[in-house]
Structure 1
Amino acid sequence: MADSQARAAAEALPFDPSEPLPRLRRELATGADGLSAREAARRLAVHGPNEVRRTARSSLARELTGQLVHPLALLLWAAAALAFVADLAVLGWAILAVIAVNAAFALLQERQAERAVETLARYLPEHALVVRDGKPTTVEARDLVPGDVIVLEEGDKVPADARVTDGGVEVDLSMLTGESVPAERVAAAGLLGAPLLDEPNLVFSGTTCVEGQARAVVFATGHHTELGRIAALSQRTRREASPLERQVKKVAWLIAGVATGMGALFLVVGVAVGLPLTDSLMFAIGLLVANVPEGLLPTITLALAVGVRALARRGALVKRLSAVETLGSTSVICTDKTGTLTRNRMRLRALWTPGHGAEAGPWAQELVRTAALCTTVTRDADGEPHGDPTEAALVAGAAERGVPVDLAGRDTGRLALFRFDPRLRLMSAVQDDPGTGGQVRIVVKGAPEAVLPRLQPGADVDSARAAAEELAGGGMRVLAVAVRELPKGAHPPTRREDAESSLSLLGLVGLYDPPRSEVAAAVRRCHEAGVRVHIVTGDNGATAAAVAREVGIGVPRLQVVTASERLDDEELDRLLVKGDAEIVFARSSPETKLKVADTLRAHGRIVAMTGDGVNDAPALHRAHIGVAMGRSGTDVAREAAAMVLTDDDFTTIVTAIESGRRVYDNVRKFIVYIFAHATPEIVPFLVFALSAGAVPLPLTVLQILAIDLGTETLPALALGRERSEPGVMERPPRPPHQGVISRDMLVRSWGYLGLTSAVLVMAGYFYVLWRAGWHPGDPTGVGSPLHHAYVTATTATFAGIVTCQVGTAFAARTDHAALRDIGVLSNPLLLAGIAFELAFTAALVYAPPLQHLFGTAALPLDVVLLVLTFPVLVWGTDELRRARRRRQRRLASTSAPCSVPPWSSRNGG
């Protein structure tokens, strides 16, 4: 199975790059002198240009239509139409503007995947040095074809997938593999059964040559390259709607169904009980307007936008508003290791010398100084190290231990160099070392399993091997350093096998990329919040596992899975869904990340996936939340992701999850707030209809519009700015199937808050009428003695609903906690919104022009004092309800301890 997996990519290529070079050249019909210009032109016509292609864009008109017929948009269209019917053109145009802005914003998000694919093209160089007709020629990179011979030098971007035929180069493959250490690519035979990216003789389009010079024959161009394959994966993984987007659609259809059904039902009821048709129509329109939450979409948008701004201040740039809410429902984080959990700064951490162990002393200083000599790292104009990060760490470690190495002197005294060979896993240098009085030595460094067999007979190999295993178990990259002194006047060896033999071991060095200090606390918060953390990395499993244990990943246990691309769906189900372990997926490929994301999604988990390379783009796009690195990440990863971390810090993801939970809670608070007002707005129409007109209509359609689009809007928007409730990160993630509206919310809105408000409002209405001597059935129309009392009574109803809104706003600020726990005055925007709605209401009640427009009248002092008690009564009843529920939950928690992990399916996560 390993062979078939390793060659899966090669089978999709027109040519197999792993076969012997003479056979590959025959199949490509090329030689050392490359192709002729005429043959290259013919092949270009057959194979097409060497560029990343994207599929055709979807129809703009179709996407725009989809946004304009969104259920919430349809409700807003209906509200706008009613506003125009009611001769409120300004409100109508305002609603239409909201529809247009939201449609345009959503439309921009749909282009995200296409931008990610287009960004891939930036990794291809504009020009390439190619051998045509036996001569080196510079051509446009898009004109390369299979069979071309290209010339690669230090600093070049590789223009196509190719096999090295002469020389050797060190290539930065991090964009494809996630490995920060450059890989050497040389003209050599392939490794049996190795994945294409591990082949020591292949270079890939878009990667960068760090050092060296080589010639290579192109075997794949365009969409057949690794870069092209990733582009295809990115286009196939379309973004799906977020949980909130799906729930809002359900809510919108529910509201639309309720509003339309109630309007139609009571239109029939009104006619049946003898109401005139015009009155019945007015009644139906009033019910519809009372049920349509005109501010729902703008308020959700604002709540999400507030979350975006808050996260931006903390180092997370969110590119899609709905991603903020999705973060709040995240149940699994799949994170990279290097740079996210760690600092991405390799450091010399441990030393071991034969006979002295980890003791410090002159032998330890000699070890680290010699290791730094066996490097090729240089310094740039600013004095910063340039080259292999591992070698830079050795040079820095020598300086820190008081034995700095003069890099210029190192190069001057170097008599021969055998570069790092990925098959041998070591490098060596013949050095005239001034630190030993001019003694010429062969210095070798490499993997312990490669260096130890080359020691002189009789060396204590077992002790060194045990020490190497102990260091590796601590998550360190272990290198062995050995030397052999040459007799004075001896010629330096010219063959590698002669140089790297009969060595004396100086010791072992352990290099470590330390975890960020704050990550352990962030992981603890994840576990408290019921969020599972897996590591998906291209790095070595032992190193990643050590980092995982150090930061607390692996609760209740840690499992390391190597060669994870070999896992089938059943095995992934067992690991990710049925098991209780947190997992390190080592040596992961792009397909591995995609398979992990798909498996978790298939089982209802909400997945946040981090990544920084081009190879991560498909998985970032497929996950519910793709999180790209802002510092170390590629442009492709940043385009494909929904969120970019400007600080590359895992802790920021946890902060974003908390912010997402707060946003979701605030959306639900807003829904409680607006649903609570439906009851006192509907009840007056029910009283009017069920009394067959004996009770005059307590509220007019224009007054409802004034409430829904005037007094209600600003406090609703302010609820989107509420701070997190206590304990928001101590509860498990909500199940994906949980609706944004729950039965408990409806009971609270329509029952406790709505019914209390309706009773108070109708009490105020009847108080004004009865005080004026009204009895059921008495005429109240224009010209009747009771008409002024009736207008005053409807005004009392309108003012009563507004003041009940104030109490509802304070009650809706918390779902569980007492108001004092978050602070009565802690939301200044809400206080400003309440002040505005009270001032707006006073204007409608006492300003003569608005009185005439909205059918209101000035309220006497006793009625004003009556309605001013409504906020305290509405808020107080809900505060008592929440206090009783808190007591019940405390009793339940003490009698039923939790024995399942927070991410268990029993908790819905």
Structure 2
Amino acid sequence: MPDYHALSVDDVQQNLGTGRSGLSTAEAEERLRRYGKNILREEARETRLQVFLRQFKSILIIILIVAAAVSFAVDEPLDAAAILIIVFLNAILGFTQEWQAGEAIAALKKLLVQRAVVIRDGERREIDAPGIVPGDLAVVEMGERVPADIYLIEATSLQVDEAPLTGESAPVDKAPGSLPPETPLAERSNMIFAGTTVVNGHGRGYVVATGMQTEFGLIAGLSQQVEDETTPLARQMDRLGRDLGLIALGIAAIAVVIGLLQQRELLEMFLVGVSLAVAVIPEGLPAVVTLTLALGVKNMMQRNCLIRHLPASETLGAVSVICTDKTGTLTRNEMTVVRVWTPEAEVEVTGAGYIPEGEFILDGAPIDPLADPGLRRFLQTVLICNHASLGHGEEGWRIFGTPTEGALVVAAAKAGLSREDLPEPVKEFSFNSTRKRMTVICPGREGGGYIACVKGAPEVLLERSTLMLRDGSAVPLTDDLRREVLLAIEGYASQGLRVLGAACRPLSTAADWTPEAVEDDLVFLGFAGIVDPPRPEAAEAISLCRSAGIDVIMITGDNPLTASAIASVLGLSSEGALTGADIESLSDDELAERLRTTNVLSRVTAEHKLRVVDLLSRDRKVIAMTGDGVNDAPALKKASIGIAMGIKGTDAARESSDMVLVDDNFASIVAGVEEGRREYDNIARFTRYLLSSNVGEIVAIVGGLLLGLPLILIPVQILWINLVTDGFTALALGLEPAERDVMQRRPRDPEEPILNRNAYLVILLLGAWLGLLTLHAFLGVYEVDLDRARTMAFTGLVIFEVYNVLNFRSFRFPLYRIGFFSNPALILAILGTLALQAVVVYVPPMQIFLGTAPLTLADWGLLAILGLPVLIGGEVYKVIRLRAGRASRAAG
């Protein structure tokens, strides 16, 4: 496809085979067959069956299914049924959560363009936007979305919001005329692109690309080529599943060999092997992980984070770098006048956003802006020379029109001015990117005649001015005064402020009202400094990221000065700013080195973002990438966790993301990180708890085997402990509140296994203790009654694990520090577990099902006393460790 922006109108017409009357209906229909509909090809959404089957991909789940098959083979149908029930419940839970998230994303979708206006057969027609074809002469007006890539041949005050495509936060001025071939996409002022929005004026032009051939479509296609990243938790759980599978086979095989050497029957030893394999695998672990993540997703939603895939909620907790958009995420996306410079004074304007409340401050004290002649005239001029309007509805105050013009309307409203108080315009010379100014002529208030009100780039107005307003009178604009004004303009720009100037000129009724005649010999009135103010909570969120060891990188389509200024206000330290051109000029190694110290990237493209994410990933970093436009989609998909904007995000961004930020607020991401860290901590807690319990079962069974005893725990009892007893307490452990210093810790290494060497040591020590206690409980009554001995071992292990679960509420702090009742769900789970065990011991049908016999109250008391040291030992260890840590820090 040729570079249409570099062609003349005649060349474009010839290339497309079109003209000023547009295409004929017959030609348009033929081209529609040739080029296809003007729609983006989306990745097909997974069916319900595909989403459901994906829940069975985990290695742990596969091992459980194999265990169920083995149970059936050895004539243990109840065991097999119990395992399969938990597997399917786990799958149903995961499917429900993911499908509901998908439905929520679908509900957020909006059609890119529903209708469009074209000229066909010389007539103006409204058609379905998918029916637009290359060569069509399209018409666009304020408030409409652009239906395709269009080469402009006419434009009147045309401004387009290109943020979804280029990331540029300010509306872009558009005008006809050819441009150099090397002109970057963001600077092609003679083109308007599919998916962008007309915010001012109107225009018409030839459609040069539709559907997937548009700039929007090309980037959408790029995102579809990027493969999804596997989450750290999924990798760790798969690794754990493989390890447990091998351990189960190894222990079962060793036990069978020991039994055969003791000349036990093969069938009995096979049953022992199955029991040990069942004991090794924590059957309830996948379900508890899924339930914990599902509950975490609900918590995330309360923090305005809509999670699309369950593991993404935990991945957020592992994030070490957040690449964030600026406009609307770190800032309010509401342009605001913060300063006004006039020849007499420099005034600060308070208040942020579109709420018309604020004060005008001069030398630290509020002033009446209408009592100052220069300030009053400036505000009147920018209000007259303005197409924006301020309105109030259910969603609060909002601007209709361009954000920059809206900022001026709000500033005037803060001074008590409204358009109704000003004269009606009689003529207008519109703004365009060449003139860089706009003029409105209206009747004069005093002495008759008319007045020209001019608004535009201050340096342009300064060139055309010969006077400036000072003390209510026009005084000559000397060279020294010009230099003073230019220095003030440069000072504002260096602080990242957008600058807009105003001037005026009295006119007589006999004047020749042409732009060149009217916009000369102006009286310069001053200029306003405009900024998109940072969100008040963003600076605190960035500070929290710093304490949590998370790097924040601002990636924006805005200019470097504005980006750097906002970064400075937010406390985001950076050695300068990298532009898209800088990124292209650097090698991978050079760019990776710069990214270690530079946290502000500006004027970047989709390819730049993708390259940055790729380089950061090579450093084993977990990257969260935020974005709202189609230009963000490839990087969102490549990042460890892609975060799309819920309010101003495009469909392409949401479909490529793992999470949708409902309120578009950076602080919500940080809140999500805290929740994700809490989830991972709790998953680590109950994983270690469940495995220590399983080690206890193994030690008890193998110990009995070595002592020549019958099977201490039968498979169905082990399953009951693993699925019911441990399941309830582990799930409640997953609700443990976050530790107070959760956001003062460095991000964890994504490749570090969920069980490190120290964890294995704790698991083995506590598990061995539980197993020996269980064996002791069995031996106490074995000579009298085998069923009662098994019941003592079975119930004893449940009681010992109740004590043990309290040990795992924190790896560092004793109970008195975290509060015994700070997790009420765990207290209820413990009481429920003991109640269920009583049912198992005393209700006849359950006695038959689980092979139990009644116990006396003395038996329960003995078991309670026997297990108490498990808790006391854990608490003593934590107190000693805590005091040793304090002493070490004091000595350091």
1:6-25 correspondence runs (5 A): 13-14=1-2, 16-25=4-13
- Distance in 2, matches of 1:220 and 1:652, equals 38
Among 808, 821, 842, which residue is 1:812 paired with?
Answer: 808
- Evaluate the alpha carbon distance shift between residue 887 and residue 15 of structure 1 in structure 2; reply closer, same or farther with a 3 A threshold: same
CA shift, 1:384, in A, is: 5.5
| Amino acid in the other structure paired with 2:524 | L
- Whether 1:699 aligns to 2:709 is no
Q: Tell me, in whole angstroms, the C-alpha distance in 2 between the residues paired with 1:293 and 1:409.
A: 77
Quote the residue 1:760 is aligned against: 773
Paired AA for residue 762 in structure 1: L
Letter of the 1:828 partner, please give it.
Answer: P
The answer (yes or no) to whether the contact 1:242–1:323 under 8 Å persists in 2 is yes
SS of 2:453's equivalent in the other structure is strand
| Counterpart position of 2:682 | 666
Partner of 1:86: 76
Would you say the 8 A contact 1:343–1:515 is kept in 2?
Answer: yes
CA distance in 2, matches of 1:98, 1:79: 17
The equivalent of 1:170 in structure 2 is 159
Q: Tell which deviates more after alignment, 446-455 or 513-522.
A: 446-455
Q: 1:518 to 1:41 in 2, by over 3 A?
A: closer
How far, CA to CA, are the matches of 1:848 and 1:128 in structure 2? 75
Change (3 A) 1:83 1:282: closer
Matches within 5 A, 1:69-84: 69-81=57-69, 84=72
What is the CA–CA distance in structure 1 between the aligned matches of 2:490 and 2:278, rounded to whole Å? Answer: 73
Moved more, 866-875 or 635-644: 635-644
What is the aligned partner in structure 1 of residue 86 from structure 2? 95
Task: Give the CA deviation at 1:500.
Answer: 3.0
Q: Deviations over 1:104-163 (max 9, x none)?
A: 4587599899x88x99882033x4332233333444332322222122233433221111
**Paired residues of 1:532 and 1:582 also in contact (CA < 8 A):** no
CA 385–285 in structure 1, closer or farther in 2 if over 3 Å, else same: closer
Structure 2 partner of 1:750:
764
Query: Contact between 2:90 and 2:290, CA under 8 Å: does it hold in 1?
Result: no
473 and 817 in structure 1: CA distance in 2 versus 1, 3 angstrom threshold: farther
- The equivalent residue for 2:478 is 458
SS at match of 1:493: coil
Report what 1:39 is aligned to: 27
Q: Are the structure 2 counterparts of residues 733 and 385 from structure 1 closer, same or farther at C-alpha, using a change threshold of 3 Å? A: closer
User: Are residue 134 (structure 1) and residue 122 (structure 2) matched?
Assistant: yes
Show the counterpart of 1:493: 513
Structure 2 counterpart of 1:867: 863
State the Cα RMSD in Å: 2.9
SS, match of residue 139 in structure 2 = strand
Which is further off, 737-746 or 640-649? 640-649
Structural mapping, 1:820-859, within 5 Å: 820-859=816-855
1:418 has 2:429 as partner:
yes
TM-score (norm 2): 0.89
Aligned pairs (5 A) from 1:83-232: 84=72, 85-88=75-78, 91-98=82-89, 100-101=91-92, 104-105=95-96, 108=99, 122-125=111-114, 127-168=115-156, 169-190=158-179, 193-232=182-221
Encode CA deviations 1:403-448: one digit per residue, 9 max, x unaligned: x1425845x2x233222222443322233343x5545233322223
Letter in 1 for 2:769: T
1:479 aligns with 2:500: yes
C-alpha contact (below 8 Å) 2:441/2:453 kept by paired residues: yes
The percent of aligned pairs where both chains have the same amino acid is 36
Distance 2:535 2:94 in 1: 41
Partner of 2:746 in structure 1?
Answer: 732
Contact 1:51–1:121 (CA under 8 A) maintained in structure 2: no
CA distance in 1, matches of 2:528, 2:148: 37
| Equivalent residue number for residue 563 of structure 2 | 544
Contact 1:572–1:596 (CA under 8 A) maintained in structure 2? no
Aligned to 1:378: 389
1:301-380 to structure 2, matched below 5 A, reads 301-358=290-347, 359=362, 361-378=372-389
User: Which residue identity does 2:450 align to in structure 1?
Assistant: V
Cα distance in 1, alignment partners of residues 631 and 711 from structure 2? 66
* Residues 101, 308 of structure 2: 8 Å contact kept: no
Q: Between Structure 1 and Structure 2, how many residues are aligned?
A: 852
The 1:508–1:14 alpha-carbon spacing in structure 2 relative to 1, beyond 3 Å, is: closer
Which of 656, 673, 679 pairs up with 1:640? 656
Query: What displacement does 1:180 show?
Result: 4.4
User: Does the CA-based 8 Å contact 1:242-1:322 persist in structure 2?
Assistant: yes
Q: Distance in 2 between matches of 1:17 and 1:121?
A: 29
Q: Please, which of 53, 56, 64 is the counterpart of residue 68 of structure 1?
A: 56
The answer on whether the counterparts of 1:151 and 1:216 sit within 8 Å (CA) in structure 2 is yes
CA distance in structure 2 between the aligned counterparts of 1:859 and 1:277, rounded to whole angstroms:
33
Q: Does 2:571 correspond to 1:561?
A: no
Residue 277 of structure 1: aligned partner: 266
Paired residues for 1:404-803 under 5 Å: 404-406=417-419, 409-410=422-423, 412=424, 414-434=425-445, 438=448, 440-456=450-466, 458-459=478-479, 460-486=481-507, 488-494=508-514, 496-554=515-573, 557-562=574-579, 564=580, 567-568=583-584, 571=587, 573-576=589-592, 579-691=595-707, 693=708, 695-751=709-765, 753-769=766-782, 774=783, 786=784, 788=785, 790-803=786-799
Q: For residues 4-23 of structure 1, what are the alpha-carbon distances to aligned partners after superposition, in whole Å with 9 as ceiling and x for unaligned?
A: xxxxxxxxx35533222222
Per the alignment, do residues 138 and 371 of structure 1 end up closer, same or farther by CA in structure 2, a change over 3 Å counting? closer
Distance 1:633 1:433 in 2: 46
Contact 2:61 2:87 in 1 (8 A): no
CA offsets 1:223-244 (integer angstroms, 9 cap, x no match): 1102211321231223222111
- Residue matched to 1:777: none
- Secondary structure of residue in 2 paired with 1:470: helix
Distance in 2 (alpha carbons) for counterparts of 1:357 and 1:128: 47
Instruction: Name the aligned partner's letter for residue 697 of structure 1.
Output: L
What's the CA shift for 1:269?
2.5
Structure-1-length-normalised TM-score: 0.88
Distance 1:406 1:121, change over 3 A: closer
TM-superposed CA distance for 1:253, in Å, is: 1.2
Match of 1:906 in 2: none
Contact 2:556 2:601 in 1 (8 A): yes
Residue 871 of structure 1: how far off its partner (Å): 4.2
Shift of the alpha carbon at 1:814? 0.5
Q: Identify if the C-alpha distance between structure 1 residues 58 and 567 changes in structure 2 by more than 3 Å, giving closer, same or farther.
A: same
Deviates more, 1:74-83 or 1:161-170: 74-83
Report the AA paired with residue 467 of structure 1. Answer: A
Unaligned runs of 5+ in 1: 1-12, 775-785, 897-909
| Partner SS for 2:199 | strand
Cα distance per residue 1:76-109 (max 9 Å; x no partner): 2134345654242752452242254156458759
State the one-letter code of the partner of 1:469: E
1:35: how far off?
A: 2.6
Equivalent AA in structure 1 for residue 263 of structure 2: G
How big is the shift at 1:282?
1.5
User: Kindly tell me: are residues 57 and 340 of structure 1, through their superposed partners in 2, closer, same or farther at Cα, counting changes over 3 Å?
Assistant: closer
Q: Is the 8 A contact 2:64 2:83 kept in 1?
A: no
Q: Is the 8 A contact 2:703 2:775 kept in 1?
A: no
Answer whether contact 1:64 1:107 (CA < 8 A) is retained. Answer: no
Report the 3-state secondary structure (helix = DSSP H, G, I; strand = E; otherwise coil) of the residue aligned with 1:274. Answer: coil
SS of residue in 2 equivalent to 1:844: helix
Is the CA contact 1:167–1:213 (under 8 Å) kept in the aligned structure 2? yes
CA–CA separation in structure 2 for the residues paired with 1:284 and 1:61:
35
User: Deviations 1:580-619 (Å, cap 9, x if unpaired)?
Assistant: 4251111232333222222222322111122223333333
Name the residue aligned to 2:471: none
Quote the residue 1:783 is aligned against: none
- Report what 2:415 is aligned to: 401
Residue 184 of structure 1: how far off its partner (Å):
2.9
Contact 2:55 2:91 in 1 (8 A): no
